């Protein structure tokens, strides 16, 4: 029997289930922040934009646009949908817990970020009979509220792309932390790292 059948797996949303790398680069090129031959992930784009005049503000505005009105152009992280369906088929309980406010303070468009994320999840197949049940999707205003939700749900595992979530003193010690990262090197915390959802799936089926 795989570990899926005994697991309640919590999943972060942005940059975990959803990959924005290509979309961020596309919008940044359209706005003239980077040359058309730019090749890099979101992290490299962020660091590059922060060097520009008003770079931090422009970066935040870019995020507001991508996470809001442009979210339909984002892609599912490679292997994410297959993982969700495999986990569900093998008896895991799944929840999505996202630190996402309803509106951005810097967005120029009055677009509800949560509505956009819900529409993306529904269109991608992440929600529904083979995916995460719609009543297991939670949006929280702060990281503290996100962690409190993970505690109240009783997650046994949580997948996130941010070390600081797992390093937070409030994060429950009894939840297995699974950091999704493509950054080389060891993390600072006592949690496992995975480069892909395929690696995470193997952890549930072979450990």
Q: What is the pLDDT, as a whole number, of residue 191? A: 82
What is the SS3 assignment for 73? Answer: helix
Full-model pTM = 0.91
- The residue ranges of the chain whose pLDDT is under 70 are 1, 106-109, 184-190, 207
Please tell me whether residue 95 adopts helix, strand or coil conformation: strand
* Parallel, antiparallel or unpaired: strands 176-180 and 157-160: parallel
Distance CA(121)–CA(155), nearest Å, equals 21
Is 134:128 a contact under the CB 8 Å cutoff? Answer: yes
Asked if 166 contacts 189 with a C-beta cutoff of 8 angstroms, the reply is yes
Give the model's pLDDT for residue 108. Answer: 56
Hey, which residues does 82 pair with through a beta bridge?
Answer: none
Sorted by sequence, the CB contacts under 8 Å of residue 162 that are 6+ apart come out as 12
């Amino acid at each position: 029997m795989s570990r899926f059948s005994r697991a309640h797996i919590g999943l972060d949303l942005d940059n975990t289930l959803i990959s924005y790398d290509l979309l961020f680069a596309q919008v940044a090129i359209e706005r003239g922040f980077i040359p058309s031959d730019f090749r890099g992930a979101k992290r490299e784009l962020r660091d590059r934009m922060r060097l520009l005049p008003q770079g931090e503000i422009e970066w935040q505005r870019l995020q507001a646009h991508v996470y809001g009105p442009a979210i339909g152009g984002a892609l599912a992280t490679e292997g994410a949908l297959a993982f969700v369906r495999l986990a569900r088929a093998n008896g895991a309980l799944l929840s999505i817990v996202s630190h996402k406010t309803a509106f951005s303070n810097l967005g120029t468009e009055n677009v509800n970020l949560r509505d956009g994320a819900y529409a993306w999840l529904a269109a991608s197949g992440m929600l529904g009979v083979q995916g995460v049940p719609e009543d297991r999707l939670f949006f929280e205003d702060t990281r503290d509220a996100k962690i409190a939700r993970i505690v109240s749900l009783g997650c046994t595992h949580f997948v996130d792309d941010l070390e600081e979530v797992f390093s937070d003193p409030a994060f429950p010690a009894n939840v297995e932390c699974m950091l999704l990262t493509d950054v080389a090197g060891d993390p600072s915390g006592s949690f496992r790292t995975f480069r892909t959802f395929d690696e995470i799936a193997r952890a549930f089926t072979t450990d």
